[in-house]
Structure 1
């Protein structure tokens, strides 16, 4: 039984929402950041990175405290305002070709600990601890964890009704995305939606495993020291599993592990049917197919032995590629930390892979077929962990739209 929790969030005033909201900090290059900081005094980038000029000279703790101070400046200046009562939000992100609609709510740390909220990715301890320190010193989070729930007809109908009402925000960005947000603060709506989720047995983290783990660690280490507000939930974007978009993470490798091209193709031929597609921009159309770009040509690789394994992990294309190619032939052990491998999300054109290899920095690229929701859930249900960089999941969120204070 899942528990969702309304919260009194901070948010931008209506007249400034398009100026305040920004993409994730990592999405900007240095020139874009400098431009936003110089020419947009309302950008949430000012909050996220107040020490951008001399970052190398500022410790993490000091930087995080500066983030908290800048957030307080935005509050004092009236750029951000606080909700008067606990609230949910209905949030739609759309372009001409796709649309995502979900519910912004708190989800329970206790549910995470009891495995009502399930995970499929591993976390790195240093990242969990670093973001925990960020939360501890800054006292807020603005990027919700992406969470899937099984499609519910009653919730779908309710969402469609609410979307006919006047939104709180409706604005577009320079990336041609439209963001529409409805505030759900009427007591009857809040109670109804809360009760709907009590009938859902499990929720699945789609993206944001480190953020949830950091929030749990924060509660565990600081719940009783009086330095934080009562803290038992994490800000989450809840989306029906049919509305989520899962891309693959493609692999690019710097070298062939001292194999010549001919030796490498010969070793691949022992496990795969290898077909040279030459200049055809070829990518896999089903499971157990892999695309490859090597020395100016695209190749189709089809696994010869397609026997089904009892392990869901052994059925994943990312695991198959690791077991049959990356580890035994290319000598890659730690896919998370090995400097010889990098990753290109599947929402980018495979031309990107071609260009990276043609430029000479990488020797070979592999294209995978995307994992599906069923596979993610099976991995999570069996308390297993997917291979690193198995999925690139959308939607992605704007920062500064909702601020969850701790």
Structure 2
């Protein structure tokens, strides 16, 4: 079973959401954050990425986190951010193109991460984990939500549909990518209680996005609980937005190679042809986010290669002896291409291997190769969300950059205080 909790959200004051809301801290670097802040001086990135304001300082220094806390307190003192008087659940809805995503913003329980009811499918990196641990601890708040998933549930969907049909959103803003983000508060005691009851009957939640934020929230509890100190209940809670499995979209996570040494483009393609059926793809719609297989069948391992101005479809037949993790396309590409052909054994740290995730048109990959910045691009097929569930249920860990979940939520619209 899992538990969700209403909370008193800290939110932008009326009319300030558009000025404050920002992209997540981890989708921009310091220079990009600095540029955004220059255009939007009240951007929440000043709180989530204060290192952008101190370019000459170590981004992980205490001075950076103290500045984040100072700006957060200043926003509250000036009334830019205000806290709701009563606990509530919230609906976070995103309209992006022809797709609408609707989830429940609430608090989850860090103790259920430790006991396994909140399940992960990726490893966290120590540097990123330490960064968010310090950020949460010093600011005393979860400033960005963990995106969680549950299996499809008819009654939850019915409640959310009814709640969003019967009232206007508290907030409507447009994100930089053109998606529309809406927040609705659920304050009716009977609805809040029923939703909390339903989740007790759900066996598990799955982290889709925010592995570092979730583990860091757990770290803060451990850090503050040393020497037997009893913490306020709120300190055990972590901000999350929970979506049903059919309310999210999974994209493939593309790979880019800076060079093919010791191979040439032709010898690289020849080596792939020795292990896979390779054929020119033909014309590709540059606006699409993925390439639809033409010869690969369900169960095959499929990836598309962009090399010297040509797309190729590469198909490696399914091996029934592989387990679920080994049979992921990204695992097969790593084990059968990157390691033996290019000697790339560390997909998390080798500088020759870069990643491009998300709802990005394939023209972005083509541009990076055509410009000479990269030697080759590899477009991966998306992983089914049920595969993610299955691997997490078994305690398995997927390779890095296996999935990119949509929607991507904005920071600054909902903040949870730990005390």
- Same fold by TM-score, threshold 0.5 exceeded? yes
What displacement does 1:40 show?
Answer: 4.2
Deviates most, 98-107 or 340-349: 340-349
1:246-285 aligned at under 5 Å gives the runs 246-277=250-281, 280=284, 283-285=291-293
Aligned to 2:348: 336
* CA distance in structure 1 between the partners assigned to 2:35 and 2:402 by the alignment: 34
- The match for 1:176 is 178
Asked whether the equivalents of residues 89 and 192 of structure 2 are also in contact (C-alpha less than 8 Å), the reply is yes
Deviation at 1:356, TM superposition (A): 1.3
- Alignment partner for residue 385 of structure 1, among 389, 397, 402? 397
Unaligned 5+ segments in structure 2 are none
Q: Partner of 2:308 in structure 1? A: 295
Matched, 1:319 2:331: yes
Residues 301 and 61 (structure 1), Cα distance of their counterparts in 2 relative to 1, 3 Å cut = same
Greater displacement, 291-300 / 335-344: 291-300
- Across the two proteins, how many residue pairs are aligned to each other? 405
* Alpha-carbon spacing, 1:13–1:336, altered in 2? closer, same or farther (3 Å): same
Distance 1:188 1:173 in 2: 33
Specify whether residues 284 and 317 from structure 1 end up closer, same or farther in structure 2 by C-alpha distance, changes over 3 A only. Answer: farther
Q: Which residue of 1 aligns with 2:207?
A: 205
Question: Are 1:308 and 2:290 matched, yes or no?
Answer: no
Q: Which moves more between the two structures, 356-365 or 53-62?
A: 53-62
Alignment of 1:358 onto 2:377: no
Q: CA deviation at 1:269?
A: 1.7
Q: Partners of 1:278 and 1:372 in 2: how far apart?
A: 26
The alignment status of 1:70 with 2:71, answered yes or no, reads: yes
Q: State the match for 1:15 in structure 2.
A: 15
Residues 363 and 115 from structure 1, CA distance in 2 versus in 1: closer, same or farther, beyond 3 angstroms?
same
Aligned mates of 2:307, 2:202 — CA distance in 1: 47
Give SS of 2:341's match.
Answer: coil
1:372 maps to: 384
Q: Is the CA contact (8 Å cut-off) linking 2:217 and 2:238 kept in structure 1?
A: yes
Name the residue aligned to 1:404. Answer: 416
**Aligned to 1:193, which of 173, 192, 195?**
195
Task: State the Cα deviation string for residues 218-270 of structure 1 (Å, max 9, x = none).
Answer: 11121257697541111001000011110011111122231233322222122
Select 1:234's aligned residue among 230, 238, 255: 238
Distance 1:167 1:143 in 2: 20
**1:284 offset after TM fit, Å?**
4.5
* Segment drifting more, 40-49 vs 269-278: 40-49
Q: Cα offset for 1:34? A: 5.0
Q: Is the 2:344–2:350 contact (alpha carbons within 8 Å) kept by the matching residues of 1?
A: yes
Residues in 2 aligned to 1:323 and 1:51: alpha-carbon distance in whole angstroms: 37
Find the aligned partners of 1:367 and 1:289 in 2 and give their Cα distance.
9
Structure 1 position 39, deviation (Å) = 5.7
Q: Which moved more, 1:362-371 or 1:36-45?
A: 36-45
Alpha-carbon separation, structure 2, partners of 1:173 and 1:280: 28
Q: Which consecutive residues of structure 1, in runs of 5 or more, have no partner in the other structure?
A: none
8 Å Cα contact 1:257/1:329 also seen in 2: no
8 A Cα contact 1:250 1:367, kept in partner: yes
Kept in 2: contact 1:279–1:296 (CA 8 A) = no
Displacement, 1:321? 0.8
Summarize deviations over 1:333-382 as a string: whole Å, max 9, x none: 01011001001125212222222112222212111111011110111011
5 Å-filtered alignment, 1:116-135, equals: 116-135=117-136
TM superposition shift of 1:28: 5.3
Give SS of 1:7's match: coil
Q: Measure the CA separation in 2 of the matches of 1:398 and 1:355.
A: 28
What's the Cα RMSD here? 2.2
State how far apart, in whole Å, the 1-side matches of 2:401 and 2:32 are: 27
> Distance between the aligned counterparts of 1:291 and 1:388, measured in 2?
19
